[in-house]
């Protein structure tokens, strides 16, 4: 068991101190894994199933003082739900506290994922092919055109089709465009979250 001391920094307005250690109990872990197995044995993982288990994972992280915020579906694949960590709500004063926080984050994330998400997320990705909404595919197409990469006449439905069509010496531009568009999408989501907050 990873032992992590509590931060002793004074409370700052708008920030939350992290108390360590706070990890899952054996009964919480067993119940979460059992729920995943029950869902897997019911005949497949639906979108609603995945969203429900992802919510449980987010709540597990938040309960253990990790300020996770859901960022919605990955716009490039639509097979995975994404998140970010709201570091503005965490008070870290020293390098030592930073190391403690990230150690705790890593350990808690592993436990919460094992209990509530890993098996469900993997099964959902296996059962559901990647696809892009038309507006995202158009953004990828435009990004590649701007980079001098010839794109197919028929708009591809997923990122793999873009890779297949791209010249081998320019295939890396597909990943670069996908990354750029994904980050732009999440920036929009995060800015919206900050405005709502």
pLDDT, tens digit, for every residue of 81-97? 999 898 888 888 888 88
How far is the C-alpha of 175 from the C-alpha of 17, rounded, in Å? 38
Are both 139 and 123 inside the same structural domain? Answer: no
- Those residues with Cβ within 8 angstroms of residue 71's Cβ, 6 or more apart along the chain or in another chain: 81, 82, 83, 84, 186, 189, 190
Strand ranges, E, within 30-122: 68-73, 81-85
User: Is a pLDDT exceeding 70 seen at residue 181?
Assistant: yes
What pLDDT does 59 receive?
96
Are both 62 and 150 inside the same structural domain? Answer: no
Domain end among 102, 127, 152: 127
Are both 84 and 123 inside the same structural domain? Answer: yes
| Under 8 Å between Cβ of 20 and 8 | no
Given pLDDT bands bounded at 50, 70 and 90, which one contains residue 9?
Answer: very low
Are both 122 and 139 inside the same structural domain? Answer: no
Q: How confident is the model over 134-145, as a mean pLDDT?
A: 96
pTM of the model: 0.80
Q: How confident is the model over 138-143, as a mean pLDDT?
A: 96
Domain end among 127, 144, 166: 127
- Those residues with Cβ within 8 angstroms of residue 114's Cβ, 6 or more apart along the chain or in another chain: 29, 32, 33
Task: Output the average pLDDT for the chain.
Answer: 86
Are both 32 and 53 inside the same structural domain? Answer: yes
Given pLDDT bands bounded at 50, 70 and 90, which one contains residue 74?
Answer: very high
What pLDDT does 11 receive?
45
Residue 18 lies in a domain: no
Which letter does DSSP use for residue 19 in this model? P
Are both 37 and 121 inside the same structural domain? Answer: yes
Are both 108 and 150 inside the same structural domain? Answer: no
User: Is a pLDDT exceeding 70 seen at residue 12?
Assistant: no
Query: What is the number of alpha carbons within 13 Å of residue 169 lying toward its C-beta?
Result: 1
What pLDDT does 6 receive?
35
Are both 46 and 88 inside the same structural domain? Answer: yes
Residue 16 lies in a domain: no
Residue 66 lies in a domain: yes
| Count of domains forming the chain | 2
- Those residues with Cβ within 8 angstroms of residue 188's Cβ, 6 or more apart along the chain or in another chain: none
**Which two tokens mark 65?**
């003082």
> Tell me: the pLDDT tens digits for 144-158?
999 999 888 899 999
**Which two tokens mark 96?**
């030592």
Are both 141 and 120 inside the same structural domain? Answer: no
How far is the C-alpha of 177 from the C-alpha of 179, rounded, in Å? 5
| Under 8 Å between Cβ of 115 and 40 | no
Given pLDDT bands bounded at 50, 70 and 90, which one contains residue 187?
Answer: confident
Are both 105 and 149 inside the same structural domain? Answer: no
How far is the C-alpha of 66 from the C-alpha of 101, rounded, in Å? 9
What pLDDT does 174 receive?
96
Domain end among 87, 107, 127: 127
Q: Which domain holds residue 160?
A: 134-196
């Amino acid at each position: 068991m990873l032992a992590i001391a509590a931060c002793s920094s004074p409370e700052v307005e708008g920030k939350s101190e992290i108390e360590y250690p706070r990890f899952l109990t054996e009964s919480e872990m067993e119940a979460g894994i059992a729920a995943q197995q029950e869902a897997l044995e019911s005949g497949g993982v639906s979108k609603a199933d995945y969203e429900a288990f992802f919510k449980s994972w987010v709540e597990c992280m938040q309960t253990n003082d990790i300020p996770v915020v859901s960022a919605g579906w990955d716009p490039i694949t639509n097979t995975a739900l994404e998140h970010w960590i709201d570091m503005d709500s965490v008070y870290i004063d020293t390098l030592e506290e930073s190391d403690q926080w990230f150690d705790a984050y890593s350990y808690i994330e592993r436990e919460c994922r094992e209990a509530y998400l890993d098996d469900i997320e993997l099964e959902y990705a296996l059962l559901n092919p990647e696809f892009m909404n038309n507006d995202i595919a158009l953004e990828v197409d435009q990004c590649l055109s701007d980079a001098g990469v010839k794109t197919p006449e028929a708009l591809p439905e997923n990122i793999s089709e873009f890779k297949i069509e791209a010249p081998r010496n320019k295939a890396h531009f597909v990943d670069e465009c996908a990354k750029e568009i994904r980050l732009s999408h999440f920036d929009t989501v995060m800015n919206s979250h900050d405005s709502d907050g």
